[in-house]
Amino acid sequence: MNAKSLKVDFLARVEGEGGFRVKVKDHLVTEAKLNIFEPPRFFEAFLRGRSFTEAPDITARICGICPVAYQMSACQAAEDAFGAKPTGAIRELRRLLYCGEWIESHALHIYLLQAPDFLGYEDAIQMAKDHPDAVQRGLRLKKTGNAIMTLLGGREIHPINVRVGGFYKVPAKSQLRTLEDDLEWARDAAVQTTRWVSTFTFPDFQRDYEFVALRHPDEYPLNEGRLVSNKGLDIPISEYEQHFAEEHLQHSNALHSALQERAAYFVGPLARYNLNFDKLSPLSQEAAKQSGLGRECRNPFQGILVRAVETVYACDEALRIISSYDPPDCPAIEVTPRAGTGHGCTEAPRGILYHKYSFDERGLILLAKIVPPTSQNLRIIEEDLTEYVSTRLHLPNDRLQWQCEQAVRNYDPCISCATHLLRVRIERE
Amino acid sequence: MSESTFTTVLIGVGNPFRSDDAVGRAIVRRLFGRVPLGITLQEESGDGTELLEAWKGTDCAVLVDAVQSGAPPGTIHRFDAHAEKLPTWFSHCSTHAFGVAEAIELARTMGDLPSQLVVYGIEGLDFSAGTELSPEVAKIVPFAANLVLQEILRLSAERAQLSNQHQTKSAS
């Protein structure tokens, strides 16, 4: 038996629609491909001719899990083009809204999508039979994130309160304080999550990745920063296109991103953590240490642990923002459109999300470019699969299949930005 | 005890940017202003955890979603979630990792299902990117909306009757 093919037509427990195929011949992996059917390109086309004011709400529709990320990158790009920069309470509220999305998205991924992999269950439903308390904890954590989104965004999915320049309406201090009790519970639950996840067994796997994330001088990156990597990249986001290229590959509707001259790079929680550990709050650093993480982590399977640490951070940060909040005088700063190009890059739960728009003098969009985190991770995922399968060819197909799916889910791929295990086909020659 | 202690919700599920995937939401929208007070109409994207929240604490829920079982477009499927598991093809239309079928099974496992949960699946044809229903599916919307309305009125009436009986018993 010297050739085999692993094929998952539709991946389970990832956001959206995708599948993968790994072909093996003569004990060598000859092909590892993720097949993605993804719609962001459609959005780029129908943004043309729309007003800058519509970009945050239209792009938010690309994803039900990370709409805030789309809104934040879109706002930042328009503000960059028009020379506007919200500061103070408006900036803090944006950060708070982003914390809500991180808590919601990370809790979903940790408890419902990825924990079943590590505990040997087919899905969260099977896991809930034996671990009902954990599942309830995960759902309540997620709900706490939702509550921030509802209060600040107007509703929990696809928030409608964000605009270029700030918000349509800002909450009173007393309104924000209603979130505090739940957030304090959530912060404890997130610390408990790091302990729970640290008991999982992680496959021994790491590679020499180039991690790319935002870095800000004063804070763990959410809304703002320079693009940096562990291999020397340090650029303003306006230079993104000079360093990163997208390529269309026939097997995928998603464009694959690469760092020019250096190829694949890794975005998301692991990248943020490795490049910004010093900016985590003391409590989240302590939670990381207690769960056995060092200052650096190169095992993508431990991404779930880093997500848990980031959840602690997001709760901590949300509480900090709420306790020091005083409403801004105006919910938004004035923004006057002008012809030009603007760039936006913020840290979606899954990694950096880049937007670029060119506007005419009325602020109508002439050109839009959106690079979601998942398309930036596609090459790394394919490389991981190649190396992972190469060293585990002795495993039976069903075991290998399981672990390959797990290796893909490490990246929490949001392929709707878009699944389900419909059919798995394993072919051996 | 207040007069009406039972709650009813009608949930339309779908992605408005995936053509026929949004048929459940179109049906719910058609019923805005046509249901008695006390019945909540809600639109959801299909994220299972949101669905768990949407029917939490309700006695009675009706959910409408698009499906792809291979039946002719516009075919209406009906399931009583307490009497049966949803067929495996039900969740395959979801673009979400944790969709309708998963939410129902998780709620069943954790004892969180509403007392009544009826699920309608409307067979879709076109799930590509777009904001319009295909003509084959659009033409079934008025009929399906009426069917769903009758169901929710019947279920509400049954629950009201049960509730009244309970109050009468408590009073005596």
Is B94's CB within 8 Å of A16's CB?
no
Name the band, by pLDDT with cuts 50, 70 and 90, for residue A426: very low
- The average confidence (pLDDT) of chain A is 87
CATH of the domain at B129: 3.40.50.1450
Q: Which residues contact A112 (CB under 8 A, 6 or more apart)?
A: A13, A124, A135, A138, B48, B49, B97, B98
CA distance B98 to chain A (A): 7
Amino acid occupying residue A429 = E
* Distance from C-alpha of B26 to C-alpha of B30, rounded to nearest angstrom: 6
Rounded CA separation B170/B164 (Å): 10
- A130 → chain B, closest CA residue: B109
Residue B2, domain member (yes or no):
no
What's the pLDDT tens digit per position in A278-292?
A: 999 999 999 999 999
What ipTM was predicted for this assembly?
0.74
Highest mean pLDDT of the ranges A119-123, A325-329, A381-385, A401-405: A325-329
Phi, psi of A184 (to 5 degrees): -65, -40
Q: Measured between alpha carbons, how far is B110 from B89 in angstroms, rounded to an integer?
A: 23
pLDDT band at A419 (very low <50, low <70, confident <90, very high): very low
Q: Chain A residues contacting B, CB < 8 Å?
A: 10, 12-17, 39, 42, 61, 64-65, 108, 112-113, 123-125, 128-129, 132, 135-136, 139, 142-143, 146, 156-158, 416, 418-420, 422
The sign of the torsion formed by the CA atoms of A312, A313, A314, A319 equals positive
Tokens at A153, concatenated: 């965004």
Q: Give residue B60's domain range.
A: 8-171
Q: Nearest to residue B114, comparing CAs of B157, B62, B41, B39?
A: B62
A10, B92: Cβ pair inside 8 Å? yes
> Does an H or E element contain B55, and which?
helix B48-55
Please, are residues A177 and A96 in contact by the beta-carbon 8 Å criterion?
A: no
The Cα–Cα gap between A87 and A57 comes to 21
**CB contacts < 8 A (A, B):** 71
Q: Taking the alpha carbons of A394, A399, A401, A405 in that order, is the dihedral positive or negative? A: negative
Please list every residue in chain A whose beta carbon sits closer than 8 Å to the beta carbon of residue B129: 39, 42
| Angle (deg, nearest 10), helices A303-323 and A132-153 | 40
Architecture of domain A3-209+259-428 in CATH? Orthogonal Bundle (1.10)
Note the pLDDT tens digit of each residue in B144-169.
999 999 999 998 888 778 777 777 76
Q: A198: which 2 tokens?
A: 């640290």
Cβ A401 vs Cβ A377: under 8 Å = no
| Nearest residue of A to residue B44, measured between CA atoms | A157
Please choose, from the candidates A229, A181, A383, the residue with its C-alpha nearest in 3D space to the C-alpha of residue A300.
A383
Rounded to the nearest angstrom, the minimum Cα separation between B162 and chain A is 30
Question: Does residue B31 sit within a domain?
Answer: yes
Q: What is the tens place of the pLDDT at every residue in B118-146?
A: 999 999 999 887 889 999 999 999 999 99
**What local confidence, expressed as pLDDT, does residue B171 receive?**
65
Query: Phi and psi of A424, rounded to 5°?
Result: -120, 125
Share of residues in chain A with pLDDT > 70 (%): 86
